[in-house]
Amino acid sequence: MSTQRQRTARPIPDPKDPAETVAIERPWLRRAGLLSLLAGILPIVSLLLQLNASSGIRNDVANVKTVGQALSAYADGTQGQGLRGEQAEIAAHYGDHALTITLATGLGGLALLFAAPVLYGLLRSSWRRRPSFPRAFMWAPVVGAVLFAVGTTAAMAYGTSKMADFAALPAVQQTNAAASDALTATGDLSILSIASVFGQMFVAVGLGAAALSAMNTGLLTRAMGVIGVLLAILIVVPLIPRQEFLRAFWFLALGAVLLGRWPGGRPAAWEAGEARPWPSRAQMLEEAERAKAAAAGGASADDDAAPAPKPKAGGDRRRRRK
């Protein structure tokens, strides 16, 4: 006769002491707010540098020779062993701006490294108020930020170095074949690409979990929580171009909340040291109905207690005169 072991449910630990939670988080809020502001500012600077590096590429492409012109140059012996076209012009342009592109990528990675401790702190603050998920889960944004920042920055530095080498070649050697090798050089470092992909996934999980748990415990408003979850989904499914620009504004808003500079101040859960969940729509409707009923009851009581109007003295005088 076989016996099945019943699995006992693991009890959820009690929330931490509110006073202790507030004392721990008070010095952290200022540091986290400043880091969040940096995590929002650096992607904007990175985007501006990328736009600056790509600004003159249309002028370079406009100077590309047609196939007939390239064949004529090749026949004259001035083109070299290959044809020069748009691909070569793009590689040469990016090679001339290799330092700017590498710096822009590095700033984007540095922004994620600044954001990682902020997301970790949000998850930890939510856990203190509602310890219902494994603590190891908090390290997702940290691991993801390191993998993604190192992977993308190293791969871009390697790729731009190859494009810079291409730009330094004599014009007769800047063929489309050589340009293709320079533009696809990052494919040689597959380990960095894998690290970037896994880092991106971990960052998405960490951002979504931090926004959702902070919203459920009342540390963030519903609007900021929902937007944070949507931004996490967009990391994995990039439906919007330049989404890092939207993510930058979210971290700027988060920094203002943590520093207490957001209109209305921080949510009450920060000062209370315990979870203060936002009321659901059903609860809000119920509260509105209750307030409406209370107001109607008060109005009827006032009507019952109101004294009867006194007769005017002038009416009696008129009757006497008649």
Exposure b/e, 51-66, CB count within 10 A at least 16 = b: eebeeebeebeeeebe
Structural domain tally of the chain? 1
pLDDT digits (tens, 9 = 90+) for 83-101: 556 778 888 888 888 999 9
Note the Cα 226 to chain centre separation in Å: 11
Which structural domain, as residue segments, surrounds residue 54?
18-272
The candidate with the shortest Cα–Cα distance to 100, out of 55, 148, 37, 150, is: 55
pLDDT value of residue 117: 96
287 belongs to a structural domain: no
Looking at the domain assignment, is residue 286 inside a domain? Answer: no
**Each residue's pLDDT tens digit, 36-74:** 999 999 999 999 998 888 876 655 444 554 445 444 554
Give residue 216's pLDDT.
92
Is residue 311 a part of any domain in this protein? no
Question: What is the per-residue pLDDT for 11?
Answer: 64
pLDDT at 72: 53
Predicted local distance difference test score (pLDDT) of residue 116: 96
What is d(CA 11, CA 31) in angstroms, rounded to the nearest whole number? 34
- Looking at residue 58, its pLDDT comes to 56
Q: Which long-range contacts (CB under 8 A, 24 or more apart) does 35-38 make?
A: 35/114, 35/115, 35/117, 35/118, 35/255, 36/114, 36/115, 36/118, 36/251, 36/252, 36/254, 36/255, 36/258, 37/251, 37/252, 37/255, 37/256, 37/259, 38/111, 38/114
CA–CA distance from 113 to each of 9, 108, 257 (Å)?
Answer: 37, 9, 20
Domain presence at residue 175: yes
Whether residue 316 is contained in a domain is answered as: no
Q: Indicate whether 224 belongs to any domain.
A: yes
Spans of the chain below 70 pLDDT: 1-12, 56-85, 284, 297-322
Q: Is residue 176 part of a domain?
A: yes
pTM: 0.77
pLDDT value, residue 74: 46
